[in-house]
Amino acid sequence: MLKLVIRTTLFAAAALALAACQDGGGPGSARARAPIPQKTVALMQEKGMSQAAPILIRSYKKEAELEIWKRDGKGEYALLKTYPICRWSGQLGPKIREGDRQAPEGFYTITPTQMNPNSSFYLSFDTGFPNAYDRAYGRTGRYLMVHGACSSAGCFSMTDEQIAEIYAIGREAFAGGQRSFQFQSYPFRMTPQNLARYRNDPNIEFWRNLKEGSDYFEVTKQIPTVGVCNKRYVFGSQSASCGATEQPAIAQALAQKRANDDHKIAELVSTGAKAVRLVYQDGGQHPSFRGEGGSVLSFTRSTRFSGDISRPEALAGAPQEIEMPDSASARTAVAMTPRPATAPGAADPVATGSVTAAAPAAQPLNAAAEAPSAGVFSKALSLGGILSGDKPAQAADPVKAAEAPSPSGG
């Protein structure tokens, strides 16, 4: 009975807070009460998770995938399910201004009041853009959602069936006592292969900052506390602020992962991995939504809007790859990067030249407050124009595909 009262109260508040995004009634409330599909409930049980356990959501533009992670019986977050994204718009890179069609990248907090049971796009939750990091750069935009209807103008759009399930999982986590969940939005999976491939993209420094948060989650299997210091994201277990320190064991594990990843990146570069920038006509979608020969599929929507996938002509071809070669001096220096130690008690991985390695225990977690590593790989990246030292993570204006703002987002 108590859970029912909590659930009713939370979503009544959400309905009031998002009145500007609503259709003004209709079947939304019934959609919002739909249970989690039995197949997904069975998957939770198989993985040792409860419906009420807290969640975290991660999205990846290039791969067009959205993941739901859930806390299991061991108290760690584990992957529950991966959903193909039906439509996202814009380019890889952060959202800069309202109307640029960019879907945001970064770390966002979702509360019950951001859940919209009466969305014009079946069901939705607001990402919370702009957050403190976005505001530090003067970025603008609003109503940037994860929603249904497979139509995007700055949003992450799922099918109606998918968003109904995602919404229900979030609703039950809130009902179980989770006050907010974290939405981590990435341009691509933070692998050494991707970071090597896009190492000369104008957004690379920003993306390496995002990787710090990704590493934290993957190493600890816990939701990182996120802060902003000197126009950079900072992460921690209990505190995330300028000068905050991290637990020694976590700091060491993070340093080791980052050193290993940086060594792998250096290997890829030294063996000829091509540096490119991807340019989309207007975003993308998961290949599972394509028909034979790569044609864009259409389907019937459950919403009151007519039509098919937004801007299908922009999905007709693959994104263009623009080569962004390294300088000769960078290639030579990267080839000299030493292999990081992995055995317990071995050499400090920070000394291998890790670009983003965490500082040793009891040192500030905030990388922005300290000088960058002077390792060989760090120097090589600077020579090649891959990093820009201590300059703020200000992204270049993406290739322009701007249109007038849409009610679904900026």
Is residue 147 part of the annotated active site? The answer reads yes
Torsional sign, CA 127, 129, 134, 136: negative
- Please, are residues 76 and 49 in contact by the beta-carbon 8 Å criterion? no
- Please, are residues 88 and 285 in contact by the beta-carbon 8 Å criterion? yes
> Cα 282 to the chain's mean position, in Å?
18
- Please, are residues 47 and 169 in contact by the beta-carbon 8 Å criterion? no
Distances (CA, A) of 306 to 154, 192, 298: 19, 42, 11
- Please, are residues 157 and 147 in contact by the beta-carbon 8 Å criterion? yes
One of 147, 150, 229, 263 is an active-site residue; which one?
147
Residue 235, phi then psi, degrees to nearest 5: -135, 150
Is residue 286 part of the annotated active site? The answer reads no
Q: What is the full DSSP assignment across 317-345?
A: SPPEEEE-PPPHHHHHHHTTPPPPP-STT
One of 21, 86, 150, 155 is an active-site residue; which one?
155
Q: What is the full DSSP assignment across 138-205?
A: T------EEESTT--SSSEE--HHHHHHHHHHHHHHHHTT---EEEEEESS---HHHHHHTTTSTTHH
Q: Omega into 319 within 30° of 0, i.e. cis?
A: no
Tokens 């992204």, residue?
395
Angle at 245 between CA 366 and CA 238, to 5 degrees: 100
**Cα–Cα distance between 160 and 58 in angstroms, integer?**
19
- Please, are residues 303 and 356 in contact by the beta-carbon 8 Å criterion? no
Give exposure, 374-398, as e/b (b: 16+ Cβ within 10 Å). Answer: ebbbbbbbbbbbbbeeeeebebeeb
For residue 308, the 8-state DSSP code is S
Give the H/E segment covering residue 28.
Answer: helix 28-32
**Cα–Cα distance between 293 and 302 in angstroms, integer?**
27
For residue 35, the 8-state DSSP code is P
Active site (catalytic) residues: 147, 155
